[in-house]
Amino acid sequence: MITLRRADDRGRARFGWLDSHHSFSFGQYYDPEQMGWGPLRVINDDRVMPGAGFSTHGHSNMEIISYVLEGALQHRDSTGSGSVIRPGEVQLMSAGRGIMHSEYNPSATEEVHFLQIWIEPERRGTEPGYQQRAFPADELVGRLRLIASPDGRHGSLTMKQDALLYAGLLDGGEVVEHTLAPGRRAYVHLARGELTLNGQQMRAGDGAKIAEEARLVFAEGKDAEFLLFDLP
């Protein structure tokens, strides 16, 4: 079963410097039917104005992934880590027993557009950690590139949950397939462009909850960039 949720049905928060669409309940947006999907708890589609951002704040017991689509995102945290994340780079911060961090747009002229993703870990109270890795576009074209996994296989980031996160770029006649193991569920977020998922049309910002499906087929892409979460 595939349940589509259209981009315009998401929650939205606007604060002048931030325009954010929420796939699941977050902050002041609450929908009891949209509390996450398995351990996937948050997908926020954020646009931050030049020179603005999230001041220092705390997190705990969450795997937090930042996926930049356009612009650049500056990160600093209480482990001493700090970097700028750009398109093609993915950051995974394991908040563990507690971490403080800030995120802001370092550009004076360009907006930053990124996805903030939260996944609940299998165990609480672990050591905080930080990872960042580049995934060149040619590794995503016409395929699913594993970017996060519980064991860091195939050069992916290591998350503290039995989940697999893939990214893909699809355009034209390319077809990509993925098989779900029995008992697994999935979620698809289309970051931009258009594609079909098992024949159903998706457009930028759409999401899909997937259960009791053995095979996923992505096709008819038009400048599509998408994320696939393979979940327990």
Q: Give the CATH number for residue 30.
A: 2.60.120.10
Q: Which ranges of the chain does DSSP label H, i.e. alpha helix?
A: none
Mean pLDDT of 121-134: 93
Examine the domain organization and report whether 36 and 128 are in the same domain.
Answer: yes
- On whether residue 54 sits in a domain, the answer given is yes
Query: What percent of the chain is modeled with pLDDT above 90?
Result: 87
Examine the domain organization and report whether 210 and 188 are in the same domain.
Answer: yes
Mean pLDDT of 113-129: 95
At residue 113, does pLDDT exceed 90? yes
Examine the domain organization and report whether 100 and 204 are in the same domain.
Answer: no
Q: Tell me the per-residue pLDDT of 168-220, one tens digit each, with 9 for 90 and over.
A: 999 999 999 999 999 999 999 999 999 999 999 999 999 999 999 999 999 99
The full length of the chain comes to: 232
Residue 208 near residue 173 (C-beta atoms within 8 A)? no
Task: Give the Cβ contact number of residue 223 at 10 Å.
Answer: 13
Last residue of a domain, one of 104, 134, 164: 134
Note down the domain range covering 202: 137-231
Say what the pLDDT of residue 108 is: 93
Last residue of a domain, one of 111, 134, 157: 134
Task: Give the Cβ contact number of residue 54 at 10 Å.
Answer: 17
Global pTM value: 0.95
